[in-house]
Amino acid sequence: MSEVVALVTGANRGIGQAFVEELLEQGARVYAGSRDPDAVTTPGAVPVELDVTDPAQVAAAATRCGDVNLLVNNAGLFTNQRLVLTADPDAARREMEINYFGTLAMTRAFAPVLGANGGGQIINVLSVAAIVPTAFMGGYSPAKAAALFLSGITRAELEPQGTKVTALIVGSVATRMSEHVDGHKEDPRDIARAGLKAAAKGELTADTDWMAVDARARLARDPVRYERGLGRLIHKAVLRTGRD
């Protein structure tokens, strides 16, 4: 790939903004997609109004950003609700709409754009919750797992046109999503840097940080024990907060 022309979704904060900043630093041209383009404040980025669940806005972005050769599907939603014993039954549907169907919509819209521009690349920003059922992440975990399968299927379908797909397994990162979480959190720029490096190397699935690598190892050693351990965390949280 010669000059990188990227579109990053959910680009106004967190990991999305970090991708925008890192790409610009590496000399790329960057479209920064956000439901509120005025919230995109990174100098040098081109704001694009983009709600990945809005078909008209997705189609408009594909038309406007016809020179893109790197699509970073980062836009996501975490409602901090349980899946079954939830006070908000619609939360899981909203998480699936953005984390899975939004990623699918963007991939469908930009597949011909990437093909016309030499194949290009797709980076899907996922989560440790995509590789192990994570009870305290409610509908987010199933949605990210679905997006992981989407990544593999996309890779197979778009291989003939030369499009590469890298799925990023991301641990705890210092973003608004993790404000309620204790413990070590990664710098979003480190995640973006690791993700771009993995994509440049052609990695299919990449663990971007210590927590992701540790989770992969624990899952390989004893998947049942690891899953149950994560499940116990939700019970501790319920007891600590009194949340139903």
* Active-site residue, 100 included: no
The number of CA neighbours under 13 Å toward the Cβ of 17 is 15
In DSSP terms, which residues pair with 7 in a beta bridge? 31, 71
CA distance 16 to 75: 7
User: What is the per-residue DSSP string for 150-169?
Assistant: HHHHHHHHHGGGT-EEEEEE
Exactly one of 31, 100, 140, 226 is catalytic; name it. 140
Per-residue tokens: 198? 């993995």
User: What's phi and psi for 171, nearest 5 deg?
Assistant: -90, -145
Q: In sequence order, what E strands does the chain have?
A: 5-8, 29-34, 46-49, 70-73, 121-125, 164-169, 205-207
What is the β-pairing status of strands 121-125 and 5-8?
unpaired
For 96, phi and psi rounded to 5 degrees? -65, -40
- Alpha-carbon distances, residue 161 vs 120, 150, 155, 157 (angstroms): 9, 17, 10, 9
Query: Of 128, 30, 100, 38, nearest to 71 (Cα)?
Result: 30
Q: Which amino acids are annotated catalytic?
A: 140
